[in-house]
């Protein structure tokens, strides 16, 4: 990715901030949101950090928003302040290789993930509070002077490439992805160096933790596959020397609570896209956003499903990260949102310019109270998109009335619009037109339908050269061939009721006249009348 955008989790209604990282331009810019009313989005520059060393990974400190950590191509990590006066803090390594990930903790810890090299650790944990007070101050020595030596206070994952890192809110617990092998959860309070939890999977990239329910975290497959998995860290197996040697950790491990395969594929190889970024919503739990390499952005709303069918007399084994859980739970998808880069009113923008380059969630709701996504397009323009709410509730009664729930209002029944007939309109139509029968209104619609089917656009499975039987022709006619207006649909739903009002009972001759628009019913009543 060439750019990245991060929303400040400590933003308030009066002060909302976000950060943009420009990888090619080697700069960071922090912005202050001036105004957002659902349409226009205005922001001003707060601070800028230019001439940053070339980097391929970065993180924004959650406990001190003036600090930024970058991972360089040489493997060295550097901590910067968002101003031009502070001396950066460099965190050197023994053997040069790529730095794949950096992550801040909530207690001034910094983790760096490196590519694999033989006989060296690839996951280093630094306590920057020990040296940041002197190295990251304007009075510290300028570049070119002798650099203070800083050593990591914990080193893990020997000879194993680390692809992604994220800290939990528990300051000493983090999850890391081991390239092509597994996900590991480390508790830094333990001195054994072994992981507390290990999950066998190939989805070890772009780890994201649900900040509102940190039992759940998501990860993605390598860039060539669009696979996303969501994990519950309470369902894993504790990694100990005994079960690792016996293989119990892999054989008894539960899989992900939910998995999305080929989320951005469209049934042909040319459109296959990998996952570039995963982010959890900061204002509502269970909402996961994913950005693909083709510029598509989707937001997944998930829901926890509880199963209380398990035997309550059995005592569940306690999890290493939480108390015993009486109910096993899974997860399902409630809704999938397609985040549009350009609103429908601005379709003139070219498709390449409209592609989403990066995104993040806001910690505040939009004008309608729904979660918001801040996006940056490939043309460097920035905008905010509020997720769509659920569709309004709709109900049609047996007597032809329509009830629709308006947005943020209770359901109301009655005349929804001038084109939708209500019960009063239907009764008035019947009382003022007693001389006509139902077949007059249906005959034209059936004839129009037949004309549409014979106009060179037959429906699936229809062959004009094939002579259909009466049953096949009737079933084919009843299949939906075109969209029907609401007033026509409501009229057709009241066919049986209006037939009864017209005297559709036991008189075969009268019944045949009432159903004159339906040749199959007409033939049936003629056959009954001959008996």
Convert the pLDDT of each residue in 469-509 to its tens digit: 777 777 666 665 556 666 666 677 778 888 888 899 989 99
- What per-residue confidence (pLDDT) applies to 135? 57
- What per-residue confidence (pLDDT) applies to 246? 44
**H or E stretch at 200:** strand 197-200
Does residue 157 share a domain with residue 80?
Answer: yes
Does residue 150 share a domain with residue 63?
Answer: yes
Structural domains in the chain (count): 3
Which residue, among 70, 73, 75, 78, has the nearest Cα to 95 in the 3D structure? 75
Q: Which of 432, 450, 481 is the last residue of a domain?
A: 432
Give the 3-state secondary structure of 242-308. Answer: HHHHHCHHHHCCCCCCEEEECCCCCCCHHHCCCEEEEEECCCCCCEEEEEECCCCEEEEEEEEEEEC
Percentages helix, strand, coil for the chain (3-state, rounded to 5) are 20, 35, 50
Does residue 472 share a domain with residue 408?
Answer: no
**Domain encompassing residue 444:** 440-530
Q: What are the CA-CA distances from residue 255 to residues 47, 185, 199, 230, 331 (Å)?
A: 44, 15, 8, 9, 12
Does residue 115 share a domain with residue 140?
Answer: yes
Is pLDDT of 322 > 60? Answer: no
Is pLDDT of 275 > 80? Answer: yes
Angle, alpha carbons 283-286-291 (nearest 5°): 85
457 part of a folded domain = yes
Does residue 159 share a domain with residue 78?
Answer: yes
Angle, alpha carbons 74-75-77 (nearest 5°): 115
Structure tokens at 418: 């001038």
Is pLDDT of 438 > 50? Answer: no
Is pLDDT of 427 > 90? Answer: no
What is d(CA 328, CA 411) in angstroms, rounded to the nearest whole number? 36
Does residue 61 share a domain with residue 141?
Answer: yes
Does residue 122 share a domain with residue 81?
Answer: yes
Average pLDDT score over residue span 178-205: 90
Does residue 521 share a domain with residue 449?
Answer: yes
Q: Which of 167, 199, 228 is the last residue of a domain?
A: 167
- What per-residue confidence (pLDDT) applies to 51? 86
324 part of a folded domain = no
Sign of CA dihedral 418, 421, 425, 431: positive
Sign of CA dihedral 48, 54, 56, 60: negative
Question: DSSP assignment, residue 443?
Answer: H
Q: Which of 132, 167, 202 is the last residue of a domain?
A: 167
Q: Which of 209-218, 280-289, 329-338, 349-358 has the lowest mean pLDDT?
A: 349-358
Does residue 405 share a domain with residue 451?
Answer: no
130 part of a folded domain = yes
Instruction: List all residues 6 or more positions away from 513 whose beta carbon is below 8 Å from its beta carbon.
Output: 437, 439
Structure tokens at 490: 């409501």
Does residue 137 share a domain with residue 59?
Answer: yes
- What per-residue confidence (pLDDT) applies to 5? 94
Is pLDDT of 101 > 80? Answer: yes
What is d(CA 366, CA 38) in angstroms, rounded to the nearest whole number? 7
Sheet arrangement for strand 372-377:
356-361, 372-377, 382-386
129 part of a folded domain = yes
203 part of a folded domain = no
Does residue 505 share a domain with residue 406?
Answer: no
Percent of the chain with pLDDT over 70: 67
State the average pLDDT for the chain: 76
């Amino acid at each position: 990715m060439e750019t990245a955008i991060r929303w400040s989790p400590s933003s308030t209604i009066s002060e909302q901030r976000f950060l943009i990282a420009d990888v090619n331009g080697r700069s960071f810019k922090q912005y202050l949101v001036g105004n957002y009313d659902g349409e226009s989005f205005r922001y001003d520059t707060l601070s800028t950090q230019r001439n940053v060393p070339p980097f391929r990974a970065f993180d924004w400190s959650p406990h001190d928003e003036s600090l930024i950590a970058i991972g360089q191509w040489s493997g060295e990590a550097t901590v910067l302040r968002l101003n031009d006066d502070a001396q950066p803090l460099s965190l050197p390594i023994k053997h040069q290789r790529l730095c794949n990930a950096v992550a801040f903790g909530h207690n001034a810890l910094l983790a760096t993930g490196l590519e694999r090299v033989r006989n060296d650790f690839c996951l280093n944990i630094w306590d920057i509070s020990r040296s940041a007070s002197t190295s990251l101050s304007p009075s510290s020595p300028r570049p070119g002077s002798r650099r203070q030596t800083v050593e990591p206070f914990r080193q893990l994952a020997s000879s194993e490439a680390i692809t992604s890192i994220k800290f939990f809110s528990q300051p000493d617990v983090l999850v890391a992805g081991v390239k092509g092998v597994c996900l590991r959860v480390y508790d830094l309070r333990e001195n054994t160096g072994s992981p507390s939890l290990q999950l066998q999977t190939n989805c070890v990239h772009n780890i994201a933790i649900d900040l509102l329910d940190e039992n759940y975290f998501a990860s993605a497959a390598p860039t060539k596959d669009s696979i996303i998995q969501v994990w519950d860290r309470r369902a894993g197996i504790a990694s100990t020397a005994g079960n690792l040697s016996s293989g119990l950790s892999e054989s008894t491990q539960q899989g992900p609570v939910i998995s999305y395969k080929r989320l951005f594929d469209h049934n042909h190889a040319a459109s296959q896209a990998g996952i570039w970024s995963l982010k959890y919503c900061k204002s509502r739990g269970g909402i996961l956003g994913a950005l693909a390499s083709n510029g598509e952005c989707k937001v997944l709303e998930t829901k926890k499903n509880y199963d209380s069918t398990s035997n309550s007399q059995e005592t569940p084994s306690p999890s290493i990260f939480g108390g015993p859980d009486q109910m096993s739970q899974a997860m399902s998808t409630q809704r999938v949102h397609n985040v549009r880069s350009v609103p429908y009113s601005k379709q003139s923008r070219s498709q390449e310019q409209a592609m989403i380059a990066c995104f993040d969630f806001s910690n505040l709701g939009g004008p309608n109270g729904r979660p918001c996504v801040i996006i940056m397009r490939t043309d460097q323009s920035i905008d905010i998109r509020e997720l769509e709410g659920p569709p309004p509730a709709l109900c049609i009664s047996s007597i032809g009335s329509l009830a629709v729930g308006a947005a943020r209002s209770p359901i109301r029944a009655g005349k929804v619009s001038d084109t939708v007939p209500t019960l009063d309109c239907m009764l008035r139509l019947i009382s003022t037109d007693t001389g006509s029968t139902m077949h007059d209104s249906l005959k034209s619609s059936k004839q129009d339908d037949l004309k549409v089917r014979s106009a060179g656009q037959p429906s699936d499975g229809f062959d004009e050269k094939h002579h259909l039987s009466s049953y096949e022709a009737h079933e084919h006619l009843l299949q939906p061939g075109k969209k029907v207006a609401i007033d026509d649909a409501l009229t057709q739903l009241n066919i049986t009721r209006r037939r009864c009002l017209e005297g559709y009972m036991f008189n075969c001759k009268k019944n045949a006249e009432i159903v004159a628009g339906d040749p199959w019913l007409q033939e049936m009543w003629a056959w009954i009348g001959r008996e």
